[in-house]
Amino acid sequence: MGFQRAPVCMIPDTTDPAGSDPALLVVDMQCGAFNADSDAPMACTATSVDGGLDRVAEYTNDLVEAARNADVPIIWGKEQHRPDLADYGAEFLCSEPIHALENSEGVSLASAMDVDDPVSRPAEYEVTKRRYDLFFRTDLEYILETYDIDTVIVTGIMTNICVHYTAHGAHQRDYAVRVPEECTAAPTEYLHEAGLKFIEYLQPDSLQSVADVIGSLETYEGNAIVRHVKETGTVDPSARR
């Protein structure tokens, strides 16, 4: 068959920096946030590292490479709204300006990221969301269930909103959460730090250094279904190598 499924544990029991069966979520690393003008409404200039969002992108790319080498599924989250804002809902009430409109320059995955747009590598997926939480009314859970995932490594922007809400969504669904803080950013230091604190409150083991997560991935045995997809182009267990 090419692989066998392991039984899914509904309550993950792991303190490993990358968890036991991880997937990498890269949330909203889109052009709209990569604005050199710190006064731009969606600019993310507050990070845990020197060098701003460009340095966050470099750390995230290092993590992406480690995930690829470790046969870990990668999901690229992208926020996107219809041009007439029919799907915008309560975001009209939030502090952010209108953003992430379909076909706008800002909605594309940032050129700083090591990914094709649209996403095309085996076992890597683009998931479009209409709200902050990458789990909310998307097909993310189907993908994670397919790969028998119990831990999500969450990176991206904004720390206090889409990263935080995605981590919360994962927690609500009984996944272990890992957030390498060097791979996150927000508009202000206050919002960045607040987002990290709320995530850590949910799961005390959630905040990890990117070095520790990469180190853990280097010893991970790999996801057998990812290997099967890389070899055959499908998760279908009957497909031949």
pLDDT band at 69 (very low <50, low <70, confident <90, very high): very high
Is 13 part of a structural domain of the chain? Answer: no
- Contacting residues for 234 by C-beta, under 8 A, at least 6 apart: 228
pLDDT band at 87 (very low <50, low <70, confident <90, very high): confident
pLDDT, tens only, 108-130: 899 999 999 899 999 999 999 99
Mean pLDDT of 139-164: 97
CA distance 212 to 34: 26
pLDDT, tens only, 226-237: 999 999 999 999
CA distance 7 to 23: 17
User: Which two three-digit tokens encode residue 149?
Assistant: 């995932």
Is 53 part of a structural domain of the chain? Answer: yes
Is 9 part of a structural domain of the chain? Answer: no
Is 17 part of a structural domain of the chain? Answer: no
Is 99 part of a structural domain of the chain? Answer: yes
Considering the entire predicted model, what is its pTM? 0.92
pLDDT, tens only, 27-57: 999 988 886 555 555 678 899 999 999 999 9
For 62, the domain range is: 22-232
What is the reported pLDDT for 169?
98
Is 7 part of a structural domain of the chain? Answer: no
Is 209 part of a structural domain of the chain? Answer: yes
| Number of domains observed in the structure of the chain | 1
Is 71 part of a structural domain of the chain? Answer: yes
CATH at residue 129: 3.40.50.850
The pLDDT of residue 199 is above 80 = yes
Of 158, 167, 164, 144, nearest to 223 (Cα)?
144
